Structure 1
Amino acid sequence: MGTRELKKQIFSLLKQPDIGRVLSDIQVFPAKEVVNVLFSAICQVDELLRWHGISAMGVMVTRLADADLEEGRIIMRRLLWSLNDESGGIGWGAPESMAEIMHHHEKLSLEYIHMLISYARPDGQELEQDGNYLEYEILQRGLLWGFDRLCERRLGLLVEKGLPGDILPYLRSGDHVVRGLAARLCGRLSIRSARDALQLLLADHAVITFYQEGEFLERTVGDFAGTALKGLA
């Protein structure tokens, strides 16, 4: 099958509404070729196509890495490179995809989770304090969504690497999606120092469309802040 035909078939599959069916049907294709197509899917404007592409990236790279860990590392490095200024792109979809892969694959999470966290940190004065802070809010959205996804299976690792100390500034973001995801993370990471800021966000009625396990849920920033506060009580 040619590259163009494969892309057409994969994109058609990703547009199916049932994520379970998507992730089942995609298994009949060669993992490496599918992943190459998914790099295009994760930066599409079509939200269903993009998010299903991210979900598929997680399971297909896991399949690759289970057969050959180095193949998984290559994909992770490719995603990291896409966030580098020298790549010529902006890396749209890369933080989410890295997180989805690490959600599924423990070994890759142990090797790369510190790199994902570095995108929430500016450079420090010390030699070992090398941050890769993402300034674009659209990328911050993906980064915080990725942290939230990782809370499901890698919470201890996130806490061990100090992520709770990086979230508070995002509560003051001018972007409502960033504020909402940060509020949600404050609850999941048990950031008690966020209580006052979360109280202020209770009246924030900006609506967020949140992707979770194949579903698109609508919540307000205040909803996420309220849930976080209940968890911190």
Structure 2
Amino acid sequence: MSSRKIKKKVMALLARADLSDTLAQIREMPPHDVTHSLFSAIARSEEIIRWHAVTCMGITVARLAAEDMEKARVVIRRLLWSLNDESGGIGWGAPESLAEIMTRHEGLAREYINMLTSYMREDGEEMWQEGNFLEHEGLQRGLLWGIGRLAGKRRDLLRQQDITANLLAYLPANDAAVRGLAARSLGRLQADNAVPPLQSLVADTAALRLYEDERLKTISVGELARQALDRLNAREQRP
């Protein structure tokens, strides 16, 4: 099948509401061929296509890593490059895809998690203070969604990155999605010192779209803050 036909088929599959059937068919296709099509899909404006593509990117690159780790690294590096100013693009979908890949493959997470968290940090004067802060709110949303997603599976690795202060800095953001996703990430990371700032967001009624458990929903910033606080309270109550 030509690359054009593969891309057309992949796009049609991603547009389906039933992701389980899409994943079943994607898994039957060569990982390398699928990945090429997914790079276009993660940047699409249609929510369902974009988010299904992020899920498929994670699964497909994890498959690729099982076959050939270096080929998987090439995909990671391409995603990282898309977030570089010199790439000439914006990098839509890259932070989410990087996080999804790392969620599904521990080896790649251990190699590249520091790069993902660097997008939350400004450059410092010291050599070790290397940051690649993303200023675009759209990219910040993707990054914070990714941190929350990754915290559900790789919490210990993320905690080693010492990102709580970075996440707290997003809570006063003007963008509702940035505030809400930062709150969600703090709860999943079990950041105990986040309780007071999270409490200040409980009454925030601003709404955002959230992709969770492979489904899209609308939720308020306040509800995400409450969920984060519930996680922290549950942790404190454990014997």
- TM-score > 0.5 by shorter chain: yes
Q: State the distance in 1 between where 2:141 and 2:39 align.
A: 18
- The one-letter code sitting in structure 1 at the alignment partner of 2:221 is V
Q: State the distance in 1 between where 2:127 and 2:23 align.
A: 43
Q: State the distance in 1 between where 2:63 and 2:197 align.
A: 41
Identity of aligned residues (%): 49
Q: How does 1:115-126 map to 2 (within 5 A)?
A: 115-126=115-126
Corresponding residue for residue 214 of structure 1: 214
Unpaired stretches in structure 1, ≥5 consecutive residues: none
How far residue 71 of structure 1 moved from its aligned partner, in angstroms, is 0.5
Q: State the distance in 2 between where 1:147 and 1:95 align.
A: 9
Unpaired stretches in structure 2, ≥5 consecutive residues: 234-239
Which is worse superposed, 80-89 or 24-33? 24-33
Are 1:10 and 1:34, in contact at CA under 8 Å, matched by a contact in 2? Answer: yes
How far residue 65 of structure 1 moved from its aligned partner, in angstroms, is 0.8
Corresponding residue for residue 163 of structure 2: 163
- The one-letter code sitting in structure 2 at the alignment partner of 1:184 is R
How far residue 84 of structure 1 moved from its aligned partner, in angstroms, is 0.1
Pairwise CA RMSD:
1.0
- The one-letter code sitting in structure 2 at the alignment partner of 1:48 is I
Are 1:18 and 1:214, in contact at CA under 8 Å, matched by a contact in 2? Answer: no
How far residue 195 of structure 1 moved from its aligned partner, in angstroms, is 2.1
How far residue 105 of structure 1 moved from its aligned partner, in angstroms, is 0.6
How far residue 192 of structure 1 moved from its aligned partner, in angstroms, is 2.5
- The one-letter code sitting in structure 2 at the alignment partner of 1:197 is P
| CA displacement 1:48-74 (0-9 Å, x = unmatched) | 000000100011111111001000100
Corresponding residue for residue 35 of structure 2: 35
Are 2:170 and 2:182, in contact at CA under 8 Å, matched by a contact in 1? Answer: yes
- The one-letter code sitting in structure 1 at the alignment partner of 2:179 is R
Q: How does 1:141-160 map to 2 (within 5 A)?
A: 141-160=141-160
Q: State the distance in 2 between where 1:31 and 1:190 align.
A: 35
Are 2:152 and 2:188, in contact at CA under 8 Å, matched by a contact in 1? Answer: no
| Superposition TM-score, scaled by structure 2 size | 0.95
| Superposition TM-score, scaled by structure 1 size | 0.97
